Amino acid sequence: MCVRSRMGRRPCCSKEGLNRGAWSGFEDKILSDYIKNHGEGKWRDLPKRAGLKRCGKSCRLRWLNYLRPDIKRGNISHDEEDLIIKLHQLLGNRWSLIAGRLPGRTDNEIKNYWNTNLSKKLKSHQSNMERCIDKSKAKKAPKGDSVDAAAKVDDQFHPVIRTKAVRCTKVYLPLQQDDMMANHILEPTCNDSPSTLVPQGGDPSNFLIDFDMEDLVSSFEDDFFQLCVKDDQNRGNPVDGNVGGSSIWTDEAMQGDWRGSGIQEPNVASELRTLATFLDSEEEWQEK
DNA sequence: AACCCAGGCAACCGCCTGTAT
DNA sequence: GATACAGGCGGTTGCCTGGGT
């Protein structure tokens, strides 16, 4: 047991004398052979036992992101991209959670893909949206409201479920009250667990929902996207075979002005209603 | 052919959480 | 409750590669 020189965490390993940077094929082989024989875990001790001059964390990362046998290599498919976008809308930068719903994909890969591809698309889409809202704001509001408008755009397009721990925490769904009424979010199905919907700050349009993130995520994929398909059909949208069939983030919609393009209006509120309906139907919400 | 530059991606870093003591 | 540790996560960095000049 080492004597700690100061309070706080000690480094995961002494960095001296360790290899850094790209892994060689030889190192990969040693690591994967070792894990095949001894299994994962005990990462701190693993390098010493396996005879690798690497930090334990580095070994873990290499295994999880590259050497695992179930890693799917190659381009992200359109379906996967769609799923990433939807999950990111819902979860934000929770890459590991998102990766958990994409078999064979790693959080690092998805994070990189998002940063290099999707965030750009999102940005250009958002700037289009901001332009639209600025235009309509300029007509209605006095000068000086543009910051407010931008903030509202942000709110509208990032109604993200924020969870730090697995078991939740309150979730904020900034839906309009009439949206909720129209979609039966306030219907008696919720009344059997009275704490599931709690008006926040006296504002009837803001609600906090308690639920178990694990339960949600574990059954999320199939149920949610089946609902998306159903929702699209109800809205008269053709289901194109993509996950969920939703076209809200198609390339065409990302570029140019989607109003007047004949493309279904990006309707995040509708997607959230779908989610809310999904949550409602789960009947697995738990009181804390 | 040589150089520059931007994009992509693997790897690293630091912080956080959960668990054991 | 405090501390130590292992593992996990997300942000960032820096190298490599391919395209443009």
A117 CA, C19 C1': separation in Å?
Answer: 18
Q: Which nucleotide is nearest to A112 (CA to C1')?
A: B9
CATH classification of the domain holding A31: 1.10.10
How far apart, in whole angstroms, are the C-alpha atoms of residue A73 and residue A32?
17
A254 & A177 share domain: yes
Residue A220 domain-assigned? Answer: yes
Span A64-79, average pLDDT? 83
A213 & A144 share domain: yes
Residue A13 domain-assigned? Answer: no
pLDDT at A205: 32
A130 & A204 share domain: yes
Burial class for A29, CB neighbours closer than 10 Å (0-12, 13-18, 19+): exposed
Neighbouring residues of A45: CB distance < 8 A, sequence distance ≥ 6: A56
A132 & A251 share domain: yes
**In chain A, which residues from 80 to 139 place their CB closer than 7 Å to nucleic acid strand C?**
93-97, 107-108, 111-112, 115
Per-residue CA distances from A75 to A29, A87, A103, A111, A139 (Å): 25, 18, 14, 14, 44
pLDDT at A12: 55
Between residues A272 and A122, which one has the greater pLDDT? A122
Task: Please tell me whether any atom of strand C lies within 7 Å of the Cβ of A9.
Answer: yes
Residue A78 domain-assigned? Answer: no
Per-residue CA distances from A143 to A64, A128, A133, A150, A187 (Å): 52, 20, 14, 14, 40
Helix (H, G, I), strand (E, B) or coil at A164: coil
A61 & A120 share domain: no
Residue A103 domain-assigned? Answer: no
* End residue of a domain, out of A50, A67, A84: A67
How would residue A75 be classed by pLDDT, with cut points 50, 70 and 90?
Answer: confident
Of A73, A44, A40, nearest in space to A58 by CA: A44
Residue A90 domain-assigned? Answer: no
How would residue A135 be classed by pLDDT, with cut points 50, 70 and 90?
Answer: low
Token pair 């580095």 is at which residue?
A58
A235 & A155 share domain: yes
A137 & A221 share domain: yes
A145 CA, B13 C1': separation in Å?
Answer: 40
* The two three-digit tokens of residue A45, written as one number: 């001790």
A183 & A249 share domain: yes
pLDDT at A134: 66
pLDDT at A13: 59
How far apart, in whole angstroms, are the C-alpha atoms of residue A161 and residue A217?
12
A163 & A31 share domain: no
Residue nearest to nucleotide C14 (CA to C1'): A21
Q: Give tens-digit pLDDT for A142-196.
A: 444 443 444 344 444 444 554 433 333 333 443 444 443 333 333 333 333 333 3
Residue A42 domain-assigned? Answer: yes
pLDDT at A88: 85
* The two three-digit tokens of residue A6, written as one number: 């100061």
What is the residue range of A30's domain? 25-67
Residue nearest to nucleotide B11 (CA to C1'): A21
A46 & A132 share domain: no
A63 & A162 share domain: no
Neighbours of A22 (CB within 10 A): 6
Token pair 């925490």 is at which residue?
A169
A61 & A153 share domain: no
Domain count, chain A: 2
How would residue A129 be classed by pLDDT, with cut points 50, 70 and 90?
Answer: low
Residue A210 domain-assigned? Answer: yes
Task: Please tell me whether any atom of strand C lies within 7 Å of the Cβ of A3.
Answer: no
Does the pLDDT at position A227 exceed 70? no
* End residue of a domain, out of A67, A84, A100: A67
* End residue of a domain, out of A5, A37, A67: A67
Residue A275 domain-assigned? Answer: yes
| Four-point Cα dihedral A97, A114, A161, A57, nearest 10 | 40
Between residues A140 and A85, which one has the greater pLDDT? A85
